[in-house]
């Protein structure tokens, strides 16, 4: 089997850039590709455009050593990895437009013997669709859905399963699912991932790998929904939900997760809908969990409005915008949605505190939301809404804020 000496990474975001960098650190030539020129220029200076611990040092090193270079168009390589967004369109219908665009970008430089790996979280059948798109664009080559093991170009689906803030470590240590459209495709992909993965490379078919990724995040979503539903019930019954969960979790077979203001990020808030879209009549529990979690931001907004009714000039300090603690990622963040709704409804003056960003997204700044530091926001506010359990917020002396209304969605105010 041919050795993979070069890789073209399509998409240099939160997953693509760390993955490309780790591969380059193994002495494999990596051609990074991104449609944004400023991303390309930043990386080619040996710098990064996202926040991830230790990534800046590693990018600087592999660029300096000549193992990674970025461009806006793909270069010929032995393997192509696609890590582009897969958002919604219409009513939670998967949108594969970015994957199709990636297929169109790599098709001109594909050659017999190449491996194409889709990493983007995708609905079941997406890898087969990618194969079909490439076949339309390159009729001179044979693809797995046409020729099986005799294909000229091999395809596999290998989903990422890393935790933001720990990506470099988990890229190496976590087990990986390797879903080939053919046995040879799985073997080639396992060889590629084996260059940097210390965990097990678990080979299967592409459709099972696609469903495995969705299943992992749907499992977490359902369990978070249980915790969030508990928080609504406890609020009604005047019970401290965090105390309840702490006690219940002393049962040897009970492990309830922590509730919050909703569910965010590019995975858990999105992936379960892909299952619902593919099997709408069967995915009843998964759909309900999504509805519970998607409904939590509205519940938090209602709580703030109730508190604001008693104030002549409400000033609301919203602590945290990221979708989870200690990162800068605002994608699908329930906190952003809550702040957006409060501003749109004119509830009061909104001060957003997010220590990991330098500027607010336009959807907030355009509505008059002000980015503030913790100290000034707490001094000016008469309502404090804790949305994200950043470490910085855990050091706040909450006892000194007894003259303010505190709404804690994370259970850190004791």
**Catalytic, out of 29, 184, 203, 213:** 213
- Cβ neighbours of residue 231 closer than 8 Å, sequence gap 6 or more: 241, 259, 296
Does residue 286 surpass a pLDDT of 80? Answer: yes
Mean pLDDT of 21-50: 97
> Which pLDDT tens digit goes with each residue over 70-111?
999 999 999 999 999 998 888 889 999 999 999 999 999 999
Biggest alpha carbon–alpha carbon distance for the chain:
74
Domains of the chain from N-terminus onward: 6-199 (3.40.50.720), 215-408 (3.40.50.720)
**Catalytic, out of 158, 184, 203, 267:** 267
pLDDT at 328: 85
Residue with tokens 């991830």: 52
Mean pLDDT of 130-145: 98
Which H or E run contains 89? strand 88-89
> Which pLDDT tens digit goes with each residue over 315-356?
999 999 999 898 888 988 999 999 999 999 999 999 999 999
Is 267 among the catalytic positions? yes
Pull the structure tokens for residue 105: 């970008």
Cα 369–chain centre separation? 25
User: Residue 1 — very low, low, confident or very high, per pLDDT cuts 50/70/90?
Assistant: low
Its pTM stands at 0.90
User: Residue 156 — very low, low, confident or very high, per pLDDT cuts 50/70/90?
Assistant: very high
Q: List C-alpha distances in Å: 193 to 68, 85, 117, 232, 313.
A: 17, 21, 11, 43, 57
């Amino acid at each position: 089997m041919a050795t993979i000496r070069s890789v073209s990474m399509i998409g240099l975001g939160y997953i693509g850039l760390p993955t490309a960098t780790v591969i380059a650190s193994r002495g494999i030539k990596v051609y990074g590709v991104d449609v944004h020129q400023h991303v390309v220029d930043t990386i080619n200076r040996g710098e990064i455009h996202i926040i991830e611990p230790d990534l800046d040092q590693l990018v600087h090193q592999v660029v300096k050593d000549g193992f990674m270079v970025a461009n806006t168009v793909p270069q010929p390589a032995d393997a192509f990895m696609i890590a582009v967004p897969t958002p919604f369109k219409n009513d939670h219908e998967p949108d594969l437009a970015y994957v199709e665009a990636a297929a169109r970008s790599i098709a001109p430089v594909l050659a017999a013997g190449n491996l194409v790996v889709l990493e983007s979280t995708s609905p079941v059948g997406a890898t087969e669709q990618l194969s079909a798109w490439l076949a339309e664009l390159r009729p001179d080559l044979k693809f797995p859905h046409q020729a099986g093991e005799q294909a000229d170009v091999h395809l596999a689906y290998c989903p990422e399963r890393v935790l933001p803030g720990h990506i470099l470590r988990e890229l190496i240590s976590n087990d990986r699912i390797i879903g080939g459209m053919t046995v040879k495709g799985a073997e080639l992909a396992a060889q590629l991932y084996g260059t940097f993965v210390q965990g097990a490379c678990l080979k299967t078919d592409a459709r099972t790998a696609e469903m495995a990724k969705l299943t992992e995040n749907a499992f977490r979503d359902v369990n978070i929904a249980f915790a969030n539903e508990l928080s609504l019930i406890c609020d009604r019954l005047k019970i401290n939900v965090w105390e309840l969960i702490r006690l219940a979790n002393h049962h040897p077979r009970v492990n309830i997760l922590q509730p919050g203001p909703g569910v965010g990020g590019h995975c858990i808030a999105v992936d379960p809908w892909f299952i619902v879209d593919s099997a709408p009549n069967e995915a009843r529990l998964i759909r309900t969990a999504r509805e519970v979690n998607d409904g939590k931001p509205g519940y938090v907004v209602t709580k703030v409005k109730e508190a604001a009714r008693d104030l002549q000039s409400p000033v609301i300090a919203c602590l945290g915008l990221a979708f989870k603690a200690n990162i800068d990622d605002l994608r699908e963040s329930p906190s952003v949605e809550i702040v957006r709704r409060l501003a749109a409804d004119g509830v009061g003056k909104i001060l957003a505190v997010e220590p990991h960003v330098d500027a607010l997204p336009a959807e907030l700044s355009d509505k008059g939301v002000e980015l503030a530091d913790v100290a000034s926001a707490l001094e000016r506010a008469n309502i404090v809404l804790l949305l994200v359990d950043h470490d910085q917020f855990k050091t706040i002396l909450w006892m000194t804020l007894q003259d303010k209304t505190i709404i804690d969605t994370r259970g850190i105010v004791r």
